[in-house]
Structures are given as structure tokens and as C-alpha cells.
Chains A and B, each alone.
Chain A
């Protein structure tokens, strides 16, 4: 589905990613784990074309993404939900969804506002509310829903659980599992192994801009030394 090969990227002269490699299979949920500043968000932004690639190759359904503008990448069916959610605060919930709407895509689940309000019942209760007056959890749900309106084949989620109340974490996690059942592939960044365990099939650990471990979550659970070395807990 998505294949990142030897990505080198960063901000201006400051390189963050060094020969970063990652594969996301069809229908798979992969957690990209790592500490603050390890390069998780950078990896997603570089994939989405929001940061320039110094070198490397990105394949998405056998199409090359490198060098494409973000809107082209989005139109190929790769959805992106940023860490800070970036809701359009001057727009209502409905209008936010409309801004994300793209034509239906063969081989990807087809979303409508009504279907999304079923997935996120909270949003259904505030269709005409402005983004500015929403809680963090509601904003996170809206951000995911907005991206789903583009009918993506795969999703990049940047720390979807950050700053959410535990009960909301469970709700968002349930939605992500639902997306997997619908056939979407998901790559999500996470600092917290506990949250990753809620949704992910597989984990990749990033440290100093390089992938240093790939394996099952169960494998991580049974290797405290690995956790100690690359994660904060």
C-alpha cells in the first residue's frame, strides 16, 4: 500500500530523517513509536509532501509521491490528520467536512457526513457548531472525519490520542478499529505504547530519524530492555 524508501528530510538545513524506511500493508494498522523529537511527525509530513524530501522514494499503490504537491497526494487517496488537528475554526462542523470532500474512489470506503456522524456520534450533535468552540476530543474526531470525507485508501494519523480524556481515547480507538474493518490502512504516530496497543497490528520504533526496530506489539511487550532503550516507559 505505502512504501517509504530511504527518506532524507528535515527543516531547512536541519536534517531530521536519515534513510527512513517503512512499509504499510493493505488493511494494516502500524504504529510509529518514538520519543519526542525522534522524527515521527516529520516522517508523516515528508510523506504528505508538506516537507521537502532531500532524497528518497515514496510509493503509494505503485505511484510515486515524491515531488508531488500535497493536494495531488491527497487526491491519490492518502489522508493526513495533523497532530494539532488544524480544524478550520471559522467553519462549522458541516463546512469542515465539506472542505475535505473529494469524489468517491474505487477500492476505498465511501463516506458521507451522515455516515461519519454514525461513526462519531458526538459530531452529529453539533453539526452547525463552529470549530472554535469544540473540545480537544471533538476537534480530533472532526479532524479525522474531515480527512475521511476525501475517501482515502490510507490514513496518516499524527498522535491522535494526544491530550484526550481516557473515555475519549477509547472512543477514538474504537473508531480507528472500525476504519480498519472498513479496509483502510492506517499509519499512526504515537509516544505511548499503551495507546498504540489499542489499535495497532505492528510497531516501528524511530530514534534520531532512523527506524531501529520493527515487530509485533506483543514482541515489544515481552522485551522491556527494548522499551527502556527507545521509549520513555
Chain B
């Protein structure tokens, strides 16, 4: 290990920081004015990459890069004009869901247009050589990128401070309503900001193509990196985004330079923890006013009537008697439904009564599944003990991640949950020795006495029914009251002596634990696990189940999970673009029922 190699890594990190800064700056600008966190921002970056690779084969690199950026800006225009305009007044959660759904649609669009293979970009003509620095060859192109980051920062700062448009953007970021009362037409301001933000993301992606191939995994990696950057730098602050992008890229480069490339995931984490403790609103951020339209206006959940208990008992009895009549295939499907009912119920617990948005709940499902697999395959414990211990691992993960999430509110917390899920996914994907990497793990079978489909079905039924009843009970316990009070009015709850954060943290951990139960049950029922079990798609599935069932209902997650699992089983096999379909379904739900999907389902019941 030499200083030279560290220096080289630092330069490499600086070059990477420029692209990351462009994405994070766009994300920050858009949030500042529209109060929408664009989950599809990484997708716009990815689109910039693909477009630039595709175009540079036709018009050459130096024309392709700006052309790709402008095209992505145009895509941004359409997104803003036809989608976001309709949801500016919708509850925060729906806005997040809509942009998230958009990310799914864009990914499948890229898959459709360019196929699943990575696409290698050309080198930049004129900058394809290397410069000798401290005895090592540093690509000229990296030096160009290092220069470009600060240039864009200066350009953005000039636009924001010297132009009328920039002044109006800053005014509207501070107080939209007042800007409107002064005669500022926010509509065009919003469109303009979104187009600029999209263009920056597209440019960031396009500039990256000489350094890495365009691939379909880029979107989530970039968005979670960008989330970490804006959380560290302060959402809404452009210089903050620059500072944080540098800090994180350099810290990672330093780890790599020292020869600990595995530590890069950890260092990101440590920086975030330090910043959140020291400056909860980011290095250069300002405290955010509470969201104007946070969750759904929820009626207090009433204690279920006697007939509900009777109906529950009947349902349970029917489920218990089913194996007599049903075949093996039905039992496997029912087992899946039960597992996902628990998964959805645990997610609903933190999203409904808890009011915390989780876009990465699959992390805990996956940790449970992987822990079970690792314990059994390495012969550390028997299957029975593994089933008992694995959820604890998930609970521990939720305990750790939850500490961060409850420290932030609303969109911040949502961004973190996604970033953490992405970190968990990367760990599972990369840690070959422990998790089997991209291949996953096979041969995770239950103990002999549980090996039959019927026996395993009963085990799942007992555990899931018990856990789900626990959640229902918890919602109507003093703990549940405290949780709901913290959701509806954090300040008042605080003033009444409720430690809102502690209550939310506990809820988050319990939900993670239960997701772990679902995950380990799932692992043993399938006999194998792959990184997909904690991928973003699984988190999306959970969200769709909760939304389908209705977020304001107690039993909604059950029906949502059952319906979704059945639909997926019946149709997913025949659909190449299942992701895009889920995305479209979410978008349709959000657009057609902008004032609350939950309330709609509530009325239907």
C-alpha cells in the first residue's frame, strides 16, 4: 500500500463525485421547489447513459453527450407535465409512490429498447489518453470530469443568484404560497426546475459512459447513492450536495486505496450516522417545515366488533381444514399467501399506524431468509433453531437501520429506507463467501417432520396467524395509541410525554422482526434464496399489496397480499414486463384516486 495508489484512488473518486453531484443537485433542486422527491432520478441518469451510448455510435461522443442530456430533459418535461402536475396536491406518500412507479416503468422501457446486456460506451475522443501523475497513469477523461463538477456547481450558483428565474426558484423553495400571492406562476417554475434537474441527471449519466457500461442496475444504485448524498449534504442545498458527493466519493476511494474495498458500504454508513447525529438536516441543509399534506387524513382505527372476531375465527378454521381438500399446488400457493400476508401486515404496521414510509421493507424479509439459509447450510443450528434465530437477525438489522430512519421524517426517512435496502442487496449480491453472491443459496430445506407440504403449511399458518394477530392487538394497545398519536401529531405527542422516536423505533424493529419471520418461512418453503428476495422489486410488491388492500384498513394487507400473490402466480410467468405492469398499476391507482387509495377501499368495504 503506497501513497501513490491512494492518490490515484482519490483522483478516481473525485471523477466519480462529479457525476454523482450532477444527479444529487438535480434531485435537490426539484425537491426544493416541488417538495417531491423524485425516486425516478436514478432512472433518468440511466436513461442518459443508454441514450449517450446509443447516440455516440451515430453522431459521435461529443455530440451524443449534450444530445442525450437534452433528450433526458425532454423526458423530464413530459414526466412533469403529464404526471407530476396531477399529483402536486396529493399526499406525500402517493407522490413518492408515483415517482417510484415511474422508475419501474423506465427500467422496463430501457430493457425493451436496449435489451438486458450491458452496453459499452466509447472513449471520449481527444481525452482517451492518460496523464502521468506520481508514477501512475490517470485517464485524461477523469481529470476533465474532476474539473466539470465545480464548473457545474458555479454555473448553478450563478443561475440561482443572478437570474430572475433563479431568484424565483429560491423564493418558491422557501415559501411557495407566498411566491404565488406575489404573482409568480408556479406551474412553469415547477416545469422548468424539473427539466433542469432531469437534464443534469441525464448529463451525469451521459458523461459516465467512457468510465462504465450502461446497465439496467444503474438506476437504483445511483438513486440510493444520490439519496445518501442529499441526506448528508442537506436536501435543497446545491453546495451541500457538492460537498457530500466529494466527501462520500473520497471516503470510499480512500478505503479502496487502502485495500479494503468491502469497507466502502460501511464507510457510507458511518458518514451518514455521524452527520445525522451532528447535523440532522445535513451539512449545509436547513430544517424542513413539516409537510403540508403529509399522510392520509386517517380516521381513528376502531376496535373490531365481535362479528369481526367471529369472521376471523371462521377464516382460520377454513384455512386449517383446507389441506383435507386441497392439493399440493394449492397448499404451496396458500403458504406463499400467508407468508406475504405477514410481510404486508408488518409493512402496513409501520406505514399505516406508524406513518413511516418504507421503500425498502424487503431488506428485513431478505435478511431473515439469508440468515436462515446461512445457519442451516453451515450447520450452525438445526432448522427449528434457525427459524427462531433468523428473524432476530432481521430484527437486529431493523434496529440498526431504524435508528436512522426515525431520526428523519417523511421523505428523508423514505429515502433512507431505500438506500438501506440497496445496501443490504449489494451485500447479499457481493458477499460470495457468505451468501453465494448472485447465485444465491440452495438446499435450504425444513426438518424432516416438516418436510411435507401439509406440515409446512400448518407451521406457516400457525406462525403467520399468531404474528398477524399480534400486530392487530398491538394497534389497539397503549403502544399502538402512542404510535398513532406520534403519526398524527408528533409535537403534541411529544408534549404529552410520548417518546415518539423511541415508539417508532420499536415499531420499526418489530416490523422488521416479523418480516424476518416471513422471510425465513419463505426460504424454507422454497428451498433456495437469491438476492431478489431482498431486492427493490420485493419491497415494491409489499407496497402494492398494502395499497391494494387499503392503507387505512386493518385487514387490508391480508386481502392485498392474497390477491397480489395469486395474480402474480397466475400471470407473472407469462409477462416479460411484470415490473412495468406493477408500475403502471401504481400510477393508475395514484392518478385515478389522487385523494387516497385507502379511502376508496375503505368505502368499498
Which chain A residues have a beta carbon within 8 Å of chain B's beta carbons? 48, 50, 69-71, 73-75, 80, 82, 86, 88-91, 95-96, 98-102, 146-147, 150
Contacts and interface: CB of A to CB of B under 8 A. Distances in A.
B182 interface: yes
Contacts of B175: 86, 88
B67 to A, nearest CB: 34
B171 interface: yes
A70 B181 contact: yes
Interface string B181-200: 11111100000000000000
Interface stretch (B131-139, B162-170, B452-460, B477-485): B162-170
A150 B167 contact: no
A95 B186 CA distance: 17
Contacts of B182: 71, 74, 99-100, 102, 146-147, 150
Interface of B: 164, 167-168, 170-171, 173-175, 177-186
A50 B183 contact: no
Given A71-B185, A98-B167, 9 more contacts: A48-B181, A50-B181, A74-B180, A75-B183, A88-B170, A88-B178, A89-B174, A91-B174, A147-B182
A63 to B, nearest CB: 15
B180 A91 contact: no
Contact of A70 (B164, B168, B173, B180): B180
Contact of B167 (A48, A95, A102, A147): A95
A71 B167 CA distance: 17
A75 B185 CA distance: 10
B183 A74 contact: yes
Contacts of A98: 164, 167
Given A71-B186, A86-B175, A88-B175, A95 B180 contact: no
B108 to A, nearest CB: 37
A24 B218 CA distance: 61
A100 to B, nearest CB: 5
B178 A82 contact: yes
B355 to A, nearest CB: 20
B164 A102 contact: no
Contacts of A73: 181
Contacts of A150: 182-183
B167 A99 contact: yes
B181 A74 contact: yes
A70 B185 CA distance: 9
A67 B360 CA distance: 41
Nearest to A97: B167
A149 to B, nearest CB: 8
Contact of A71 (B164, B171, B173, B184): B184
Contacts of B186: 71
7 contacts: A89-B174, A90-B170, A90-B174, A95-B167, A98-B167, A99-B168, A99-B182
Contacts of A48: 181
Contacts of B183: 71, 74-75, 100, 102, 150
Given A86-B175, A88-B175, A98-B164, A71 B170 contact: no
A48 B177 CA distance: 11
A99 B181 contact: no
B180 A71 contact: yes
Contacts of B179: 99
A48 to B, nearest CB: 6
A95 B160 CA distance: 11
Nearest to B171: A99
Q: Please provide the 10 A-B residue pairs with the shortest distance between their CB atoms, ordered closest to farther.
A: A74-B183, A99-B171, A70-B180, A86-B178, A71-B180, A100-B182, A70-B181, A88-B171, A75-B183, A80-B181
Contacts of B171: 88, 91, 95-96, 99
A146 B164 CA distance: 14
B181 A71 contact: yes
Contacts of B173: 90
Nearest to B185: A71
A117 B477 CA distance: 62
Nearest to A95: B167
Nearest to B164: A98
A50 B185 CA distance: 14
A69 B184 CA distance: 11
A32 to B, nearest CB: 18
Nearest to A84: B178
B299 to A, nearest CB: 14
B286 to A, nearest CB: 8
Contacts of B174: 88-91
A80 B183 CA distance: 10
Nearest to A96: B171
A101 B186 CA distance: 15
B293 to A, nearest CB: 12
Contacts of B181: 48, 50, 70-71, 73-74, 80, 82
Contact of A91 (B164, B170, B184): B170
Given A89-B174, A90-B174, A99 B180 contact: no
A95 B175 CA distance: 14
A86 B178 CA distance: 7
A150 B167 CA distance: 15
B177 A50 contact: yes
A96 B184 CA distance: 13
Contacts of B178: 82, 86, 88
Contacts of B180: 69-71, 74
Nearest to B174: A88
| From B174, B178, B186, residue with most partner A Cβ within 10 Å | B178
A90 B173 CA distance: 10
Contacts of A146: 182
A99 B177 contact: no
Nearest to B186: A71
Nearest to B175: A86
B185 A91 contact: no
A86 B167 CA distance: 16
| From A80, A96, A100, residue with most partner B Cβ within 10 Å | A100
Nearest to A73: B181
Nearest to A143: B178
A41 B495 CA distance: 28
